[in-house]
Amino acid sequence: MDDVYWRSGVAWPKRARKTLDYPKEPLFAMLDRAAEKSGNSPYTVFMGKSQTYSEVREHADRIANFLTSKGIKGGDKVAIFLPNVPHFPAVFFGALRAGAKVVTCNPLYKAGELNYQLKDTGARIVFALDHPTFTPICYEAIKGTDVHTVVVCSVKPFLSKVKAVLGGLLGKIPKSPYYEKDKTVFYEQILSTYEPKAPQVTIDPMDTAVLIYTGGTTGNPKGAELTHHNMTSNILQIAEWVYLEEEDAERSGGVRYGEEVFVGAIPWYHSYGLTLTMLMATWLGGRLVCIPDPRSGKPPLSDLLSELSKTKGTVLNCVPALYAGIANHPNVGKYDLSSVTICSSGAAPLPPEVAKAFEAVTGTLLFEGYGLTETSPVTHINPTNSRYRKFGSIGLPISDTICKIVDMETGTREMPIGEVGEIAVHGPQVFKGYWKKPDETANVIRTFGGKRFFLTGDIGRMDENGYTFISDRKKQMINVGGMKAYPREIEDILFTHPKVQMVAVIGIPREEDRSNEFVKAYIVLKDGERATPEEFIEWARDKMAGYKRPREVEIVASLPMSNVGKVLRRELRDAELKKRGYT
């Protein structure tokens, strides 16, 4: 145990400092620093063509000047309605450099969803992809909002000349069917018209940098205000934690400046992809591989595997569904994945069987972390070596982060070690609050010992060594005759069945007593497998207590997923209640 501290029952990697020094600077300072230090090094990589750090900073400066010319000033909001394309970093840093707050928008939003977000934030300019679907949705969504300009971003300038010419001839470069002339500016116009000299603005690092909207599982989505300091702190915390052992990754040491290749498989509108991939790549002067749709290709995920192989990606941050897809891809053995060494899983619980399957086909270590939009996002990470990683655990609180388990009723009483309660966290990465929702902010904030803690809504426990284990979301517990069944626990057990590729579990109200529920499981079989619901129900008899066992099992072709890769249990439940005629 020479590489772990054991103090007061808490395990802690020796190489990770418990307290860090955080620079008091705006987020765009990291791009400036990388451009000064590694200006000629490749930054964004898209379909074989790269941009250097100097080029991206120049684009960001031109965008900042453009925004200023359009009346954008300190505190105004600029929305980004883009997938993972090479425009994203320049737009993101350019907006911040102009003094604006960035609003990140899910590129798969429909017009009504995007309209809500634009109205709620008061955004004035939107950057949208030139695309047959995305651009018209954006034009529809800005109706009744404060948006006066849509910047249309074509991928054509970021393709090699051969691909651009062939794409144009074959009609494969995405393009909107129309443009609203009075509201439209083209990205290329900004680059050719505005000077690459950024306006001088004063930024307080404690001010809001980004508004990222939560999923809205308890009503309308809420905008989490993340400050420059929140996000800078989280980048340093994560970089401090990662340290590889040679027996796990065929290399030893931490993340390497200028050498890592970050593969953008998770969308950058989401805090997971934004912080751990886009911003972390920038901080470390690494390459950033743009993957607009990780599930593309035939079979699905083939394009992601191809990019991992071609770009020699070293860092992969994904959700469990993507790791399961990679492990079960019929052609995974044909791709060279030997360069992939740092693999984190987040945004959804990682079933141990998925981790084992991914490690079996790639030969690299997969470690689980934890966080939320409101925490920038990371608060916990497992030790990044096979000796001290604990399957089923989200790991330990990272530097300058304190975790408490508190009572589920009030969130004011700390629970003893080993007992279940709501997870509360304190640290420099914890958000400022919900945009324009002071009451909802107050509902999730508690004070212990003069420190501000965020109530996560997740239920879990902490063991005697400091590892935290999540049972489930507070609102997804299943009440079975007064007993609490947790979907994640049941799913992890079902994942061990050799025929199961994916699984989701929900609670269904009993017809005779709607306050009492039973467990239903939805199972996606592995390719080539056949099974009946009864087979799984019978198999579960020896694997879990009676109240946890699924009373119903449904074999399905797929599960509803968010764009980030979370299984949407709510959609399954809503459809089930409708089918049964419940209101």
Nearest to 398 by CA among 317, 467, 318, 474: 467
- Alpha helix segments (H runs only) across 375-475: 438-443
* Secondary structure letter of residue 276 according to DSSP: I
Residues 278-311: pLDDT tens digits?
A: 999 999 999 999 999 998 999 999 999 999 999 9
List C-alpha distances in Å: 202 to 57, 62, 74, 122.
18, 18, 9, 22
Q: What is the pLDDT of residue 169?
A: 45
What are the residues facing 506 on neighbouring strands? 520
Q: Where are the domains of the chain?
A: 39-204, 477-579
Q: HSE on the CB side for 564, CA within 13 Å?
A: 24
- In 324-450, at which residue ranges do the beta strands (DSSP E only) sit? 342-345, 366-371, 378-381, 396-397, 402-406, 421-426, 433-434, 445-448
Residues 249-277: pLDDT tens digits?
A: 888 899 999 999 999 999 999 999 999 99
8 pLDDT above the threshold of 60: no
Nearest to 190 by CA among 122, 91, 99: 91
The better pLDDT of the pair 465, 542 is held by 465
The better pLDDT of the pair 172, 431 is held by 431
Q: What is the pLDDT of residue 15?
A: 84
Architecture per CATH, 477-579: 2-Layer Sandwich (3.30)
482 pLDDT above the threshold of 70: no
| Summary mean pLDDT of the chain | 90
87 pLDDT above the threshold of 90: yes
Helix (H, G, I), strand (E, B) or coil at 180: coil
Residues 42-51: pLDDT tens digits?
A: 999 998 899 9
CA distance 148 to 125: 6
Confidence of residue 216 (pLDDT cuts 50, 70, 90): very low
CA distance 483 to 505: 16
Confidence of residue 486 (pLDDT cuts 50, 70, 90): confident
Residues 324-360: pLDDT tens digits?
A: 899 999 999 999 999 999 999 987 778 888 899 999 9
Q: HSE on the CB side for 367, CA within 13 Å?
A: 26
Model-level pTM?
0.84
* Range 98-117 average pLDDT: 92
Q: Any idea which residue has 């070690």 for tokens?
A: 417
Q: What is the pLDDT of residue 10?
A: 65
- Structural contact between residues 314 and 342, judged by C-beta atoms closer than 8 angstroms: yes
CA distance 499 to 493: 13
- Structural contact between residues 187 and 143, judged by C-beta atoms closer than 8 angstroms: no
Confidence of residue 510 (pLDDT cuts 50, 70, 90): confident
Please give the span between the terminal C-alpha atoms of the chain, in angstroms, as a whole number.
Answer: 56
Strands 101-104 and 77-81: parallel
CA distance 407 to 409: 6
Q: What is the pLDDT of residue 113?
A: 85
List C-alpha distances in Å: 392 to 367, 371, 544.
10, 15, 16
To the nearest whole percent, how much of the chain has pLDDT over 90?
A: 70
* Secondary structure letter of residue 100 according to DSSP: P
Residues 325-334: pLDDT tens digits?
A: 999 999 999 9
* Range 502-528 average pLDDT: 87
* Range 396-425 average pLDDT: 93
165 pLDDT above the threshold of 70: no
Question: Among 58-62, 241-245, 263-267, 483-487, whose mean pLDDT is lowest?
Answer: 483-487
List C-alpha distances in Å: 232 to 21, 27, 153, 205, 344.
11, 7, 28, 9, 19
* Range 484-494 average pLDDT: 82
Burial grade of 126 (CB within 10 A; 0-12, 13-18, 19 or more): buried
CATH class label, 39-204: alpha beta
Q: Supply φ then ψ for residue 281, to 5 degrees.
A: -60, -45
Structural tokens at position 101: 């707050």
Nearest to 160 by CA among 46, 237, 274: 46
171 pLDDT above the threshold of 60: no
Which helix (H) or strand (E) is 262 found in, with range?
A: strand 261-264
Number of H helices, E strands in the chain: 18, 29
Residues 113-148: pLDDT tens digits?
A: 899 999 999 999 999 999 999 999 999 999 999 999
3-state helix vs strand vs coil in the chain, percent to 5? 30, 25, 45
428 pLDDT above the threshold of 80: yes
Nearest to 144 by CA among 168, 127, 123, 171: 123
Q: What is the pLDDT of residue 1?
A: 38
